[in-house]
Structure 1
Amino acid sequence: MISRVLAGRYELLEKLGEGSLFAAYRARDHETNALVTVKLLLPAFADDSALMNALKQCFLTTSSLNHPRIARILQVAEHEGQLVLVTEFVRGINLKERIRRVAPFTLSVAVDIALAVAEGLEGAHRAGIAHGDLRPHNIIVSQEGLIKITDFGLLPALQASPLAQTAWLTRAAPYLPPEVSEGWHVTPSADVYALGVILFEMLTGGVPFPADTPVAVALRHAKDPPPSPRAVNPGVPRAVEGIVLKAMQKLPEQRYPDMGSMRHDLRAVHDALRFGKPLSWSPLERAPESMEPVSATRSTRPAETEDTEMRFIKNAFRALTVLAGLMVIAIVAVLFWITRPVKEVPVPDLQGKPLVEARRLAQDAGLDLVIRQEDHNEQFPAGTVYLVQPEPGTTVKAGAPVQVWVSKGSRRVEVPNVQGLSEADARQRLVEAGLQVGKVEERSHPTAPAGTVLSQTPAPQQKVNRDAPVDLVVSKGPALPAVPEEGAERGFELVIPVKGAPNEVVQVRLEVQDALGVYTILDEPHTGGEQVIVPVRVRGRNIVFRIYFNNQLVHEEVRP
């Protein structure tokens, strides 16, 4: 697939990974010369026209979303009958991989990520679109900390394909609320629930309802009470615990009424962490709004001897006196506001500061920091301020904007050492360094396991331009032994009856052992009752055939 040009303009540069439905590729748009992400259906679904049409309709519906926290859909196209989804390219790794590497996260990092996701979801909900498949796999975290949500609104399309549902549920079940598992009904409340699960996972390193199968996971979501993240991580404050538990309530009406309410509480925690405020409150224990007190003052009945006209004059005089006093106070307040001195503050020295620290310094000085431009810079590392306007030390009015230019790092990067890594890990390491994989050559090696990187060009620690290709030489294992004279090539045709229910998906694997060694010649999904015919070419005698269903050995035979 690499180097192919799809839809007349998108050249595939490297494979980024696979999900339950799609394989994702980094590609270059020949019309704009921009990097994009191209997603193609996995081979198991490539011929499913009903699924393809349903997905196309979902993509067209969600392509109108335009929010800084959402990866934009750029085009939905077809190439030789294959669905091609083109989206905004975000350099980084998905949140699931980041959780696997470093969870549990620090409290501030977990809250910042959840807050960014809530902002994106709130924007989508206002546009009338719920995600429905929110999970860490669909959240990309860039090297600069930018958060992007992907794959909006695909859940309705899965109803067109039982096979796609089965593949999808394996990854999605830990994040689905009970109402979605039971009836596939997608609402914004389901996104609230899923974000609560993701926040739990970031804080603890695990999902709240682990189980061996998707069905068992769904049952636990429906029956078990939501666990407290504080029971796993005592460092979680009550406020964050309450946000998680409120979002993960079984009944939608007991959760946050909308994503904006959840975002409000996450923002309150974010600000409390920033300014050192207590987090002993909980959204599960909010005090009801106080009612207006009922006045106990009662008018006293005037003495019968008091003259009615004189009483009226006294009351009117009192009212005019109060009114005149209020007018004087109002006039004084207006004059004070008009003539008040405007506070002036010096612009702090933000040059060389990380963007997060620069924002804090600007806010502490009472100024509004505005990012004017982000560009490569050879002197300042990525994410730091390299130019400030007005210049530091200049006196400006409080609340005035201060424009900053932020570095994206050097245009040149150091080539990492990927020798000895697996090809997949080497690709990940190069992508994270801002490079791309060039030519990949396979060579036999007496000791290096197959798939291990033997050498690279350019060599490690060299400085090259960003996006430069790095060629790899990968081991394909020891050279195959010479075929003995008696090992003439022969042909067989095996018929494998797939055992299982008519709609059950079974992963069928055929393993062969002959004079060349042990190798797999078939590993693909089929349905129960299907007859799989496999032509086989082998060498030598006493050929061993092993058949596996779902990685379980079900048949072994030896043919002389």
Structure 2
Amino acid sequence: MIGTTLAGRYEIIARVGGGGMALVYKSLDVLLNRYVAVKVLRQQFVHDEEFIRRFRREAQSAASLSHPNVVSVYDVGQEEDIHFIVMEYVEGYNLNEIIKERAPLQSDEAVRIAMQICDALDHAHHNHIIHRDIKPHNILIGNNGRVKVTDFGIARAVTSSTITQTGSVVGSVHYFSPEHAKGVLTGEKSDLYSLGIVLYQMLTGKLPFLGESPISVALKHLQEPFEEPRLVNPLIPQSVENVILKSMRKNPIERYQSAKEMLNDLDTCLQPERMYEPKVTFANGGAVFDDEQETRVMPAIRADVATGAADYQSTDKERYAPSYDQSRTAAPGSLSARASGREESSTNKNGSNKPPVKKWVKPTIWIGSTLVFLGILISVVFYVKSLLVVDEVKLPNLVKMTEEAALQELAKIGIHAEDPIIREPKEGFAKGIVFNQSKAQGTMVKEGSSIKLYVSDGEPTKPLPDLKGLTYNDAVKKLLEMGFDISHISDKAVYDEHAETGVVVGMMPEAGAKIDPKTGSVKLDVSKGKESFAMPNLVGLTKDAAIAQIEASQLKLAKDGIIEEPSFAAQGSVIKQYPYEPNDPVIKGAEVKIYVSSGYPPEAINYTFNLPVAPAEEGKTSTIRIVYTDARGENTEWGSKKINTTQVFSIPLVLAPNKDGVVSVHRDGKFVDTYPISYLDAKQGTVPIPEVHPVDGKPDGGAGQAEEGHGQHAEGEAGQGGESGSNAGTDTGVGTGANGG
């Protein structure tokens, strides 16, 4: 079935369970993209039309149930000879698995589970649906703790059909109610009896009735008392035991009258005021289940009475006297009355006290009735025996088959696998392969019986060692020694603040996880050291701004990390960073030094260059842009000005012995001229002052410079001597042009 798609939408993925009537598969509803459980009818039932009809009708009826504690039925369908029901898929475990693993459960947990089952039964009973197969296998516990009751409708269809067709009772005999075991009509109280057994098993870890055969267990339900829960587990509160005792009464009249009544009792049984309440008692103690159909034993008939002898002993007279007296006082129309009349008539005729001639009539009736009863009883015995005689079949060898193939092989001979199938790791057997069967090949077993299958869950797993702290090579060596294939070992380089490069800092799966080395994979996280990032640019920042940037980048300012030295940069600004240049890779916590300008060096000269500039045409506006180069840097923008007449602009320069100044002028976006200012001229006061030509506006030298120099020197007269111009140049930075004149 695995890989099959039913109804064009239910893709069978894996088998998750099954019983005597159907198999359950986890499936994907490709239309709605959700997982569902698909229950598929076993092949031996697919040709029984009456069963199929009831199966579908009851499954559709169960689909009408809508309750948080009931597994929802989504769809019912048929594809060729496959009959299936689509139900809600519950991710978790069934209660039988939980009981096997953890029983006895705590009282509060068991009561909580029982309350949710009871709530589901109350909803079903109100919708006129009787489950009839309440047992831990049909109770699912989701990973969220929600209890879900499953197989509503299917249990009813199975029971109804098999009783009608074979006269036998089908179900889980350990959870039968007495009326169910007798084959009489079952109702809501039968479900409550089964729930009582489930609660008993959760709290004690054992079943109340066990036997060598299903018939012996069924008889115990009818006739024998069970060991009280508190005798098995003294930790059970008396109030909880009272719930079990009442729900498991053999007489349905003495049980809870409804699921709602039992739910209310469960809801309060763990309240402090109830936990030590008196033990519940019943009128007829532990009497067996009695009803009007019970078979009764008749007294044995003496041989001399059977032959009609007249002279029976006085003790026989006493023994049969009640019957005899009753016959004499019977109604006139009865057989006894007519016989008595004839006896009296005979006595009067003969005038004698002799016993009547026809006194054999009554013993004959007794004997005939007894023989008829015995004949019926013998017929019933032979009929029942004929039902119990089942053909035997020889078991095949299922070992090394896939689970699916083994189940199909069993279905061919009318045998089914016990639920659940045992799944465990087995060396030498791949996952899904049968490695053992409870009854050996060639064993003769009854048709319709079951055997236990053991299916491999893969190779045995081994716990992973802790590889953290080892070098990558050592970790790989250890995994190879365990049996891992090198292709199943992968690594990923990660930053780590503490581990050295090449050391394993993480692993998936984690240490201790169990894994099959032949099929499993391991992923190792290997340190590549601390995470690096680009060093920020500190040059040009003020000292305080640079320190703030270092801290924000999670770096450290080295001890004595602020070094001041002369520079042509502005005083207090960072002129260099060490040992990381801007954009160099650096890790968190690295130490950094900064060099801060303490001001210009002593040999530097602050010089103001006065530059006369004229517009392109006198009276019309021109845009003048000036750029200069000095010891502070190349091509520094001085700025732009709009003029319509000749103006003188002061350009502040810083000159050094190895760095002269240069001033460039642009007018209306076009280059005009460049003016060099040497360090030596500035120091000696011999920097020539350009003069603007009066005609074309182009700067010029010569007499015009002397005139300009004169004009810039404290408004002195034109034509003053060179010495005077030199002094003016020293004082104002512009008069030096006169010396050149």
Q: TM-score, normalised by structure 2?
A: 0.39
Alpha-carbon distance change, 113 to 283 in structure 1, aligned in 2, over 3 angstroms:
farther
CA RMSD of aligned residues (A): 3.1
Corresponding residue of 1:248:
248
* 1:296-445 map, 5 Å: none
CA distance in 2, matches of 1:187, 1:263: 17
Question: How many angstroms does 1:166 deviate by?
Answer: 11
Secondary structure of residue in 1 paired with 2:83: strand
Corresponding residue of 1:279:
275
Residues 22 and 40 in structure 1, CA contact (< 8 A), matched pair in contact too: yes
Residues 115 and 267 in structure 1, CA contact (< 8 A), matched pair in contact too: yes
Alpha-carbon distance change, 6 to 255 in structure 1, aligned in 2, over 3 angstroms:
same
Question: How many angstroms does 1:48 deviate by?
Answer: 2.8
Corresponding residue of 2:585:
none
CA distance in 1, matches of 2:208, 2:29: 41
Alpha-carbon distance change, 234 to 13 in structure 1, aligned in 2, over 3 angstroms:
same
Say whether 1:58 aligns with 2:58: yes
AA in 2 matched with 1:264? N
Select the structure with the greater relative contact order (CA < 8 A; seq sep ≥ 6): 1
Residues 162 and 168 in structure 2, CA contact (< 8 A), matched pair in contact too: no
AA in 1 matched with 2:151? D
Say whether 1:108 aligns with 2:4: no
AA in 1 matched with 2:444? Y
CA distance in 2, matches of 1:546, 1:264: 54
Question: How many angstroms does 1:503 deviate by?
Answer: 7.4
Residues 20 and 167 in structure 1, CA contact (< 8 A), matched pair in contact too: no
Question: How many angstroms does 1:196 deviate by?
Answer: 0.5
Larger Rg: 2
Alpha-carbon distance change, 208 to 522 in structure 1, aligned in 2, over 3 angstroms:
same
Alpha-carbon distance change, 73 to 26 in structure 1, aligned in 2, over 3 angstroms:
same
CA distance in 2, matches of 1:26, 1:194: 28
Q: For 1:373-411, what per-residue CA distance to the aligned partner results, in whole angstroms no more than 9, with x for missing partners?
A: xxxxxxxxxxxxxxxxxxxxxxxxxxxxxxxxxxxxxxx
Corresponding residue of 1:160:
161
* 1:58-207 map, 5 Å: 58-158=58-158, 159-161=160-162, 169=170, 172-207=172-207
Structure 1, unpaired ranges of 5+: 287-499, 514-519, 528-544, 552-560
Secondary structure of residue in 1 paired with 2:12: strand
CA distance in 2, matches of 1:37, 1:57: 19
Corresponding residue of 1:214:
214
Residues 176 and 218 in structure 1, CA contact (< 8 A), matched pair in contact too: yes
Aligned length: 311
Corresponding residue of 2:731:
none
Alpha-carbon distance change, 36 to 187 in structure 1, aligned in 2, over 3 angstroms:
same
Structure with bigger strand share is 1
Q: For 1:195-254, what per-residue CA distance to the aligned partner results, in whole angstroms no more than 9, with x for missing partners?
A: 111000001111101112111111000001243100100111111111000000011110
CA distance in 1, matches of 2:57, 2:19: 20
Alpha-carbon distance change, 27 to 184 in structure 1, aligned in 2, over 3 angstroms:
farther
Alpha-carbon distance change, 238 to 30 in structure 1, aligned in 2, over 3 angstroms:
same
AA in 1 matched with 2:276? S
CA distance in 1, matches of 2:396, 2:117: 45
Residues 24 and 40 in structure 2, CA contact (< 8 A), matched pair in contact too: yes
Alpha-carbon distance change, 84 to 155 in structure 1, aligned in 2, over 3 angstroms:
closer
Secondary structure of residue in 1 paired with 2:99: helix
CA distance in 2, matches of 1:503, 1:90: 38
Residues 169 and 183 in structure 2, CA contact (< 8 A), matched pair in contact too: no
* 1:222-237 map, 5 Å: 222-237=222-237
CA distance in 2, matches of 1:44, 1:166: 18
AA in 1 matched with 2:445? F
Alpha-carbon distance change, 153 to 81 in structure 1, aligned in 2, over 3 angstroms:
same
Corresponding residue of 2:444:
548
Residues 27 and 37 in structure 2, CA contact (< 8 A), matched pair in contact too: yes
* 1:10-25 map, 5 Å: 10-25=10-25
CA distance in 2, matches of 1:48, 1:503: 21
Alpha-carbon distance change, 8 to 503 in structure 1, aligned in 2, over 3 angstroms:
farther
Residues 505 and 525 in structure 1, CA contact (< 8 A), matched pair in contact too: no
Alpha-carbon distance change, 546 to 189 in structure 1, aligned in 2, over 3 angstroms:
closer
Residues 174 and 207 in structure 2, CA contact (< 8 A), matched pair in contact too: yes
Say whether 1:45 aligns with 2:62: no
Alpha-carbon distance change, 168 to 232 in structure 1, aligned in 2, over 3 angstroms:
same
Say whether 1:508 aligns with 2:393: yes
Alpha-carbon distance change, 50 to 107 in structure 1, aligned in 2, over 3 angstroms:
same
CA distance in 2, matches of 1:161, 1:34: 35
Corresponding residue of 2:666:
none
Residues 93 and 141 in structure 1, CA contact (< 8 A), matched pair in contact too: yes
Corresponding residue of 2:568:
none
Question: How many angstroms does 1:44 deviate by?
Answer: 2.8
Identity, % of aligned pairs? 32
Secondary structure of residue in 2 paired with 1:60: helix
CA distance in 1, matches of 2:34, 2:24: 16
Question: How many angstroms does 1:501 deviate by?
Answer: 5.0
CA distance in 2, matches of 1:213, 1:67: 37
Q: For 1:112-142, what per-residue CA distance to the aligned partner results, in whole angstroms no more than 9, with x for missing partners?
A: 1011111111111122222111111110011
CA distance in 1, matches of 2:255, 2:106: 25
Secondary structure of residue in 1 paired with 2:394: strand
Question: How many angstroms does 1:32 deviate by?
Answer: 0.8
Residues 243 and 283 in structure 1, CA contact (< 8 A), matched pair in contact too: no
Question: How many angstroms does 1:47 deviate by?
Answer: 3.0
Residues 15 and 24 in structure 1, CA contact (< 8 A), matched pair in contact too: yes
Alpha-carbon distance change, 106 to 8 in structure 1, aligned in 2, over 3 angstroms:
same
Corresponding residue of 1:5:
5
Residues 238 and 281 in structure 1, CA contact (< 8 A), matched pair in contact too: yes
CA distance in 2, matches of 1:99, 1:249: 23
Alpha-carbon distance change, 267 to 103 in structure 1, aligned in 2, over 3 angstroms:
same
CA distance in 2, matches of 1:164, 1:63: 25
Between 1:191-200 and 1:46-55, the stretch displaced more is: 46-55
Q: For 1:290-343, what per-residue CA distance to the aligned partner results, in whole angstroms no more than 9, with x for missing partners?
A: xxxxxxxxxxxxxxxxxxxxxxxxxxxxxxxxxxxxxxxxxxxxxxxxxxxxxx
